[in-house]
Amino acid sequence: MIQNVAARIASIGANPNDSEDDRLKKSILVISSLMMASMAIGWASVYFAFREYLAGSIPFSYAILSFLSIGWFARNRQYGFFRGSQLLLPLLLPFFLLLALGGFENSSAVVLWSLSSPLGALLFAGRRQANSWFIAYLALVVIAALLEPFGHPSNLPPVVLTIFYVMNIGCVSIFTYVLLQYFLSQKEATLRLLHLEQEKSEHLLLNIFPAEVAARLKNKEQIIADRYENASIMFTDMVNFTPMSADMRPEEMVGLLNDVFCYFDTLTEKYDLEKINTIADCYMVAAGVPRPRCDHAHALAHMALELRDYIGRTKFGGRQLVFRTGINSGPVVAGVIGRTKFAYDLWGDTVNTASRMESHGAGGFIQISEGTYDLIKNDFICEPHGLINVKGKGDMNVWYVLDKKT
């Protein structure tokens, strides 16, 4: 029962299209207004009991006006008017109460309650509007100080004045402390969400770019382009993929490629290589970029052999697949191009030749150029395949990598 009443009070003036933040602010303002109006009635009763009728009528009037404002808001849902009235009432009425009681000392510094106005504006209206409310509060304090010599004694006993001092200072301090706690909790929650979003962004960036390149992108480096004198590039492509895919459902074809390339990704991580991209059924990977390494050709040869053996003994979707692989070694240029959907890519004759090694190769074999052969011949069993005519390059000596030397 109590929960239902509290929920209905909190939903006063809410609109279906309100954001969560707007809904929270409205409910906090309604609840705090009801609490302050109720406290004002108790305050008025004390003043009436000590025959301070003018002083008692001020918090009593505040309570009536506040209840009317809440009722108007519940009926018309005019949040701007409601917010303004609930900021204006606690700004002016404590000042009038101070005048009615005869100054700072005789009112137990009740004008401190006017501070709730700029603090509330900070929470409900934003920093810009809060500045104006705070200036108005300071102006009232100054005016009250100037009028202090013209004050008159009140009917409140000293002990009551002391109690009111404690209550005024204590309640306003509690209100300020709770508000600061709220802002700090909101700040911490925002920082946590921001941190999570940053982690997601960084994780996504690291899925697209090498860690070294991602760091340079975050530093807003304008042009990212590097030359590597010693690197190796490997292309591997599925044989007869086009006719095979014509007989497959789209989800079946994508699922098959995903299974294959996910395994390729594990080998890329295993040998600390850099996956450059995939184009249809072709997988491109590099060694020696962006992290130079002396065994770049060896690393790709190891991956190619493991890939060949795994594909040879595994069926994907009930199909036996065949890949042809080509590797070349030499200098490359690496960098990031594009403004949208930008990508890390490699360029140069070394890349083109590696692609030709794959396209001119045979299914189930790893074909390498002379540049790669010179680097790995002492550690791998390589079989000469003679001269092949490569488009744009002429006749080239090539080898097949058969196995590792024991």
Give the pLDDT score at 251. 87
Three-state DSSP at 23 gives: helix
By the 8 A CB rule, do 309 and 401 touch?
Answer: no
Asked if residue 154 lies in contact with residue 107, where contact means CB atoms within 8 angstroms, the answer is yes
- Two tokens, residue 2: 């109590």
Q: Which residues are catalytic?
A: 356, 391
Domains of the chain: 2-200 (no CATH), 223-404 (3.30.70.1230)
What residue spans of 125-249 are helical by DSSP H?
Answer: 127-147, 158-208, 211-218, 241-246
Q: What is residue 4's predicted lDDT score, i.e. its pLDDT?
A: 65
CA distances from 37 to 63, 90, 109, 116, 273 (A): 4, 10, 19, 13, 69
SS3 of residue 323 by DSSP: strand
With vertex at residue 380, the alpha carbon angle to CA 355 and CA 369, rounded to the nearest 5 degrees, is: 25
Pairing of strands 380-390, 315-316: unpaired
- DSSP letters, 97-159, are HHHHHTSTTTTTSGGGGGGHHHHHHHHHT-HHHHHHHHHHHHHHHHHHHHHGGG----S--HH
* Residue-wise pLDDT tens digits, 141-183: 999 888 888 878 878 888 888 888 888 888 888 878 887 787 7
> What is the pTM (predicted TM-score) of this model?
0.57
pLDDT at 221: 63
List per-residue pLDDT tens for the chain, 406 residues long.
Answer: 556 666 676 677 777 787 877 887 888 888 888 888 988 898 899 889 988 899 999 999 999 999 999 889 888 888 889 999 999 999 999 999 999 988 888 888 889 999 989 988 988 888 888 999 999 999 999 998 888 888 788 788 888 888 888 888 888 888 788 877 877 787 788 788 888 877 777 776 666 676 666 666 666 666 777 899 999 999 999 998 888 888 888 888 888 888 899 999 999 999 999 888 888 889 999 999 988 999 999 999 999 999 999 998 888 878 889 999 999 999 999 888 766 667 778 899 999 999 999 989 888 899 999 999 999 999 999 999 989 888 878 889 999 999 998 7
pLDDT value of residue 366: 94
Q: Which residues of 296-314 are buried (b: 16+ CB within 10 A; e: fewer)?
A: bbbbbbbbbbebbeebeee
